[in-house]
Amino acid sequence: MGRDDTVVHVSGPRERLVAQLAQIKELSGLSLRALARDAGLSSSSLSRYLTGRLVPPWEAVVALCRVVRRDPRPLRAVWTEAAQAGPAAPPRRNDLPADLFDFTGREDECARVEELLRTAGAATVDGMAGVGKTSLALHVAHRLASAYPDGGRYLDLQGFTPGQEPLDPSAALARLLAGLEVNHPPADAGERAALWRSELSRRRVLVVLDNAADAEQVRPLLPGAGKSAVLVTSRNRLVSLEAAPPVSLAPLADADAATLFGRAAGLSRTDDAVGDVLRECGGLPLALRMAGARLRHRPGWTVAVLAERLRDNAGRFDAVFGMSLQQLDPARRRLFRLLGLLPGADFDTGPATALAGQPAGEMLEELVDAHLVQETSPGRYRMHDLIRRYAADLAAEEETRPGDALRRALDHYLAQAIAYDRILPAPQRPRPAAGDPAAAMAWFDLEYVNLVAAFDAAVRLGADEVVAGLPGAMRVWFFRHRGTDDQTRMLAAAAEAAGRLGRDRERSALLSDLGFALAAAGRLAEALAAYQRAEPSAALALRIGFVRRDLGEFAPARDEFRRARELFERDGNRAGQAQALAFDGWATLHLGDRSAAAELARASLALAEGPARIPGLVTLGLAEDRSFLDEALRLAEENDLPHQQAWCHSCLGIALREAGRFDEALARHRRALELLEPLAEAQLEADCRRAYAETLERMAR
């Protein structure tokens, strides 16, 4: 840059370099894609350079300066500083629920847990329901926050959650890895656990695994080497979990129990009757907070009156819970009962409003004040398992049609999912609805656990509209998070529900999606079976052709591709015709006819535009001239298509092998596998590994 350029005052060397690169882009007057093209860079790489996610190589800086006809040498110093500064620190993420403002006592137990986390990297906290295991774990996690600069993670393992099965370890790993922005974990459970340990070893993260059922559920989730730590809570003493020593919680001692009760009740001093209340609450923090809240909301009562009311009830929890409910009006008591039916982990006012059939925001605040509901973060709520079970029991006893309320909540989740899905860009949706796609994806990320729980509840309830509709509304999210364990079972159940509703077209689309998910996971026989149950179409013939191709059945695959071409041509779908022609050429090439394959690829390119040209270019590159493979790779990089990039690199490895350039071929194969590592593309990875092995075999290695 020249001397007359505007000076931008920013903090670090990376930020200063980004500011200079931004000036180059502004000076060029070009779009990001056009600037990348003129500089000989991929648009995805240029995007990373301009946002500071990656320091460009010096050659890229020179190429960008050349586009705007500026001398790059004045940038050399700031580029050197930025390169030496190392990678940018990832944004700190902390999704731990809030610490309790009135956490009381437990100093010895907290100190023991903190010591275990520092020395062993893991600890378990066990004790009876309501004794305060989660509260202690979160209190410790917040106290140690500064020791874990990469943030905190929280996951409810649902070991004792009413109405829900304990979370499978493989599904738990998928959710934990997603919290580290690893969205395409391997399908194999052992590989998934190894990836989790590897990711933790590169970070300093504190993970709280709440509500564990047993040691077997937890063991795959523990860290290996490194500075990360895992804190587990369970009602069971996990003695067989050698890597995570236990700390057991007893009910609070009288002094701490009295302090906590006094805080919850807002008492400036206590009297002799407090001892009676403590005995009725059994030293359990949950019961003490609720009893204190009851007294606080009844200023005319004395502690002795509260103790008498507690003694008049048969059971400890029925007494405390029931008294907390007595302070509420009928509408709020009804909302409390209905919340016991709500599937999922936490929730906002939306599903609560749907349950109640009226606005629930103010009612939820009163339930929080009564300690019947916890507000884990602004606008997000959850219920303790004990309270949830109590609420569900009351709903079963007192609600005449509880299924109607639950159905309203399920319909709410479905409607929300459909609305947010319409905002997301997708190949079959040229004009998404107005809205912020990033916010829509964030909603799916936040509500994913609840959506799966809502789906399972809909299956149990027989709510076929929700069962059939929800997986389709999550289609784009699932596509971007391939490898999600829940997807195939949800699609299979949805197809059956659509069949029961008489929606044949919807059933066929769901079966096609099911086949696609199974094929991506390498489960080819199951994918073919799903496809064969769907109604015939051009798109389906194309997908069946892909499965036949992946099975090595090239003649049947070619037949399917040609059938797809005929159907696309009949429908006037040029893009579909182009794809069918390209893969017809691919199959023909593998059947030994290079000239016919090249002819089919050229016919495909005559119809295709943009990244849709990639299959034709790849086929032509293998059949005729390697330069077409380079063009295909450039298109894949410009459009940020990592799956296609991996395929192009693998095919370039094959072409270079055939030319006897083995070292270059190996580099391409390795690059293909690097690109596939974070993706859930088991079948494509198998193909690329096979090509890599063939190259090694040709080299006699």
239-298 pLDDT, tens digit per residue, is: 888 888 888 888 888 888 888 888 888 776 666 778 888 877 878 888 888 888 878 777
CATH number, domain 536-698: 1.25.40.10
Q: At what angle do helices 349-356 and 361-369 cross, to 10 degrees?
A: 100
- What average pLDDT does range 363-367 have in this prediction? 87
How big is the chain by its Cα radius of gyration, in Å? Answer: 30
**Cβ 357 vs Cβ 408: under 8 Å:** yes
| CATH-assigned architecture of domain 400-535 | Alpha Horseshoe (1.25)
Mean of the per-residue pLDDT values for the chain?
Answer: 85
Q: Which of 574, 599, 573 is nearest to 586 (CA)?
A: 599
How far apart CA 41 and CA 638 sit, in angstroms, is 8
The DSSP symbol for 226 reads: S
Residue 111: is its pLDDT beyond 50? yes
- The fourth-level CATH superfamily of domain 93-248 is P-loop containing nucleotide triphosphate hydrolases (3.40.50.300)
Output the pLDDT for position 8. 32
Answer yes or no: are the C-beta atoms of 237 and 215 closer than 8 Å: no
Per-residue pLDDT, 367: 85
Q: What does the pLDDT read at residue 506?
A: 94
Closest C-alpha to 371, from 478, 289, 314: 289
- Other beta carbons within 10 angstroms of residue 410's beta carbon come to 24
Note the pLDDT tens digit of each residue in 478-509. 887 765 678 999 999 999 999 999 999 999 99
In the chain, CATH 3.40.50.300 covers 93-248
Whether the CB-CB separation of 497 and 468 falls below 8 Å is answered with: yes
* Torsion angle of the four alpha carbons 28, 31, 34, 36, in this order, in degrees rounded to the nearest 10: 80
Give, for 122, the enclosing helix (H) or strand (E): strand 122-126
**To which CATH superfamily is domain 13-84 assigned?**
lambda repressor-like DNA-binding domains (1.10.260.40)
Q: Scanning the structure block, which residue is given the tokens 């296609």?
A: 644
Residues 287, 291, 296, 298, CA torsion sign: positive
What pLDDT digit, counting tens, does each position of 597-610 carry?
999 999 999 999 98
**How far, in Å, CA of 2 to CA of 123, rounded?**
59
Helices then strands, counting H and E runs in the chain, come out as 35, 8
Token pair of 125, please?
A: 């906290």
How does residue 183 score in pLDDT terms, banded at 50, 70 and 90? low
Question: CB atoms < 10 A from the CB of 555, how many?
Answer: 11
Q: Where are the domain boundaries for CATH 1.10.8 in the chain?
A: 254-326
Strand, coil or helix: 246? strand
33 pLDDT band, cuts 50/70/90, is low
Angle at 401 (CA atoms; ends 397, 403), nearest 5 degrees: 105
Give me the amino acid identity at 584.
D
Which strand (E) or helix (H) includes residue 235?
none
Say if residues 129 and 162 touch (Cβ distance below 8 Å). Answer: no
- CATH 1.25.40.10 residue ranges of the chain are 536-698
Secondary-structure class of domain 254-326 per CATH:
mainly alpha
Q: In the structure, what pLDDT confidence band is assigned to residue 443 with cuts at 50, 70 and 90?
A: very high
pLDDT-derived band of residue 427, with 50, 70 and 90 as boundaries?
low
Q: Cα dihedral sign for 543, 544, 547, 552?
A: negative
Q: What is the C-alpha end-to-end distance of the chain, expressed in Å? A: 50
